[in-house]
Amino acid sequence: MNRLFGAKQTGPRPTLSSAIQNTDSHAESLDVKLSKINAELTTLQQKMSRMRDGPGKSAIKSKCLKLLQRRKQYEAQRDQYEQQSWNLSQASMMTDNLKNTMTTVDVIKQTNKDLRKQFGKVDIDKLERMQDEMADLMEQGNDIQEAMGRSYDVPEEVDEAELDAELEALGDEAEMEGAGGLGLGMGIGAGQEPGFLTDEVPQFVDEPPGGGEKVKEAAG
């Protein structure tokens, strides 16, 4: 298996990268040779254009034919090296993709193993009970907040009939206060007793003259 054309390989086995580099270097060397041949053919063609037909021109023409044959050989070899380099590059890409795939598979396996280990520590029933307890606590908290925010001795709503009654009562009080102010304006001063509480007894009261003292005491 390790023999190539009957010769035993004693050195390290070549890699794809080294094979690609060697193939590319051969193709580049052939490009250099082809450039030289093309330059030489251009020079000979210019020389032939200035010469008359004869033995000298025929010799140059024969040399051009040999250069063209050599160029075709170099071009064929270069095409072969380029094709080999392309094939090796494709093989290298496939190898890299395979390595990346195997690495991804190993990572997925390890991740699944870790996930199974972590999920095995989680008790689903316990987690659900914790969620139920949290929901109960939240409901109790809402009940507490509602109880703390309850209002005392404050009517929540006042209808229009009650409002009209209150306004009417306030209007009556205002009228009574206005009547009291009117009496003061008629000459009754502060600390002065009204006329019906003085010593004079009206004529329609049938009492002895001494009854005025009782009236004062009652008034006092």
Report yes or no on 137 lying in a domain. no
Residue 88 lies in a domain: yes
What does the alpha-carbon distance between residue 193 and residue 196 come to, in Å, rounded to a whole number?
A: 8
Residue 218 has what pLDDT?
Answer: 46
Enclosing domain of residue 60: 13-98
Is the pLDDT assigned to residue 110 strictly greater than 90? Answer: yes
Return the C-alpha torsion angle 123, 125, 131, 134, nearest 10: -100
Mean of per-residue pLDDT scores for the chain:
77
SS (H, E, C) 33-65: HHHHHHHHHHHHHHHHHCCCCCHHHHHHHHHHH
CB 68 within 8 A of CB 41: yes
- List Cβ neighbours of 2 (8 Å cut-off, separation of 6 or more): 8, 9, 13
Instruction: Tell me whether residue 196 is in a domain.
Output: no
Nearest to 160 by CA among 148, 152, 168: 168
The model's pLDDT over 138-197, given as tens digits with 9 standing for 90+, comes to 988 888 888 887 766 655 565 677 777 777 888 777 777 766 655 544 444 545 555 555
pLDDT tens, residue by residue, 72-92: 999 999 999 999 999 999 998
Locus of tokens 């193939």? 23
| Count of CA atoms in the C-beta half-sphere (13 A) of 13 | 5
* Whole-angstrom distance, CA of residue 48 vs CA of residue 38: 15
DSSP 8-state class, residue 153 = S
The answer to the question of residue 184 being in a domain is no
Tell me how many domains the chain contains. Answer: 1
Instruction: Tell me if 53 is assigned to some domain.
Output: yes
Q: Is residue 30 part of a domain?
A: yes
pTM: 0.44
Query: Residue 43: inside a domain, yes or no?
Result: yes
Question: What per-residue confidence (pLDDT) applies to 206?
Answer: 54
Is the per-residue pLDDT at 106 higher than 80?
yes
- For residue 53 the two structure tokens come to 């037909």
- Residue 142 in any domain: the answer is no
Q: Tell me the one-letter amino acid at 114.
A: D
CB 57 within 8 A of CB 48: yes
